[in-house]
Amino acid sequence: MKLNPDFYKDKKVLVTGHTGFKGMWLCNMLTMFGAAVTGYSLESPTEEGGKVFREAGIEARINSVIGDIRDREKLMQVFAEVQPEIVLHLAAQPIVIESYKEPVLTYETNVMGTVNILECVRQAESVKSFLNVTTDKVYENKEWPWGYRENEPLDGYDPYSNSKSCSELVTHSYKKSFFIDGRCAISTARAGNVIGGGDFSVNRIVPDCIRAAFAGQNIEVRNPNSTRPYQHVLEPLYAYLLIAQAQYEDGKYADWYNVGPDECDCVTTGELTDIFCRHWGEGLTWKNISVEGPHEANFLKLDCSKIKSHLGWQPRWHIKEALRETVVWAKAWQQGKDISAVMEEQIRKFMEV
């Protein structure tokens, strides 16, 4: 099975978290496919992210609603006005370290935000396909050397990971309690660490690399030996759209899916930074600043056999290609080039693989 861009032509799609890194790329893809997109989100969490959102032309091509996922009344108004057919839920507090600083906000956003969006879906007859985007960190992480499968126990350690585990359980409960008749197909997607142009988040390795490169400074790496499943942002977005399409057309595809890279692309943070430096050039290097801090998993991989066998999904860009395209985007941004054109070119290149 392949993603069919024509499927999305004129479809009414609601994307939560549309001002975030993944949300911006997703809206760009959907508008290229001809979808009628409504975004619901807070303002971009970073000044640079807000600038990307405007300069990439995304804001001008969609119905952008600024709102808090915790505000159920406003969400319901948007559902009533838009009557979406497909809902892709990306809005979240996504940073592990921030969840230690703001645990209540993290739970309110990631758990009650999911309750609110599902309650809107429950009351909206228009919605036929709903996807909740969570994370690879939902699993009880025993740091073993093989990938986690979808039937492994859920139990994130830190407030972010745990809140996303709760978001999964909320979705499972709503599916069993209110959608057993199949009127709306519901899935979750558990993606690994994503990289790509336009991510200016704090406390993430690739944005840290880009900021250091822009400043002509050494990159400071906090956990160089931590192994993560890194993938370009277009990898999971393609999978999200494929899942939403497949379950819209046939409810048997509604399920829980891991979306991650192949084994060869599960690399340490130090290896990732080495590759980034080689692509960037200009003598860029990094240094280890490992210090004791809040717990973060050292080893995490996903087993993606289910989505490969059920939907025929396969990763397209390996880590070197993913970082190469990220560097191309970042240098274009630094040089003031047309970011909208760069993003569209990368999407087309990805779709042609």
The DSSP result for 120-151, as a single string, is HHHH-TT--EEEEE--GGGB-----SSPBPTT
pLDDT digits (tens, 9 = 90+) for 331-343: 999 999 999 999 9
pLDDT score at 203: 80
Higher-scoring residue by pLDDT: 57, 274:
274
Treating both helix axes as pointing N-terminal to C-terminal, what angle do 21-32 and 339-352 enclose, rounded to 10 degrees? 70
What does the buried/exposed string (b/e) look like for 241-272 if buried means 16 or more CB atoms within 10 Å of the residue's CB? Answer: bbbbbbbbeebebbbbbbbbbeeebbbbbbeb
Query: Does 1 reside within a domain?
Result: no
pLDDT score at 347: 98
pLDDT score at 291: 65
pLDDT digits (tens, 9 = 90+) for 251-277: 999 999 999 998 888 889 999 999 999
- The boundaries of the domain holding residue 237 are 11-291+299-352
Query: Does 2 reside within a domain?
Result: no
Higher-scoring residue by pLDDT: 238, 97:
238
% of the chain exceeding 90 in pLDDT:
80
Residue-averaged pLDDT of the chain: 94
The predicted model gives 153-175 an average pLDDT of 96
% of the chain exceeding 70 in pLDDT:
97
Query: Does 5 reside within a domain?
Result: no
Confidence grade of residue 156 (pLDDT, cut at 50, 70, 90): confident
Query: Does 3 reside within a domain?
Result: no
Confidence grade of residue 296 (pLDDT, cut at 50, 70, 90): low
At 202, which CATH number? 3.40.50.720
Estimate to the nearest angstrom the gap between the alpha carbon of 58 and the chain centroid: 17
Query: Does 174 reside within a domain?
Result: yes
> What residues form DSSP beta bridges with 324?
none
The predicted model gives 153-161 an average pLDDT of 93
Query: Does 157 reside within a domain?
Result: yes
pLDDT digits (tens, 9 = 90+) for 175-231: 999 999 999 999 999 998 899 999 998 888 999 999 999 999 999 998 898 888 899
pLDDT at residue 49 is higher than 90: no
Query: Does 139 reside within a domain?
Result: yes
Q: How far apart are CA 10 and CA 167, in angstroms?
A: 30
Confidence grade of residue 72 (pLDDT, cut at 50, 70, 90): very high
> Exposure of 182 by Cβ count < 10 A (0-12 exposed, 13-18 middle, 19+ buried)?
exposed
pTM as predicted: 0.95
The predicted model gives 96-116 an average pLDDT of 95
pLDDT score at 293: 56
Number of domains in the chain: 1
Residue 75: its H or E element: helix 72-82
Q: How far apart are CA 102 and CA 30, in angstroms?
A: 32
Three-state SS at 89? strand
